[in-house]
Amino acid sequence: MPGSAPAIRTVIHVDMDAFYASVEQRDRPELRGRPVVVGALPGGRGVVSAASYEARRFGIHSAMPISRAYRLCPDAVYLPVAMDKYAGVSREIMALLAQWTPLLEPVSIDEAFLDVTESRALRGDGPRIAREIKARIRAEMSLTASVGVAPNKFLAKVASELEKPDGLVVVPPGSEEAFLAPLPLGRPWGGGKGTASAL
């Protein structure tokens, strides 16, 4: 309507949990509940590409040298990267996300932004859509995703990281400052030790 206020933007960030490792645990039931590390194999010089949450309890994380990961948890299951398989699962996930909005922006193989501002009339508000997305991914892919809902991409990305795995964090319009204020300076997306030091 002429003169009506523009709709408040609603952005959702979907981030799959420990994607490569979770796909392996899904496809190989004997790995469920065990520490799984996907990347270079022990004895090589590469790094960890993904670590299951069971492996993360030992301090293992992505980009860590595989030699250090092995020292931290020699009993973990170490698997090579099966990129063709992960890419196929990623295509299925992105096709599912596109059912909510054509405004879909994949960021990497395991995460994407969705602008659902204009989806409210048909699909409900951001939190409702986020819950539907999580439920569909679990039901159809047997995987979990952490999701952030916010008025912009930056906040949605930060929100999705706060309650992993299988989290859902909503930043209502008007609460942006209160949401960011208690977070460490290096926590927001794009921040790091250099940014924290400068701030």
Instruction: Please give the positions annotated as active site.
Output: 111
Look at residue 107 and give its three-state secondary structure. Answer: strand
Beta strands in the chain (DSSP E): 11-16, 36-39, 48-51, 77-79, 104-108, 111-115, 145-150, 168-170
Give the list of residues 6+ apart from residue 167 with CB closer than 8 angstroms, or none: 146, 147, 160
Q: Rounded to an integer, what distance in angstroms lies between the CA atom of residue 21 and that of residue 3? A: 51
Structure tokens at 121: 């009339």
Structure tokens at 128: 């409702």
Return the CA Rg of the chain: 18
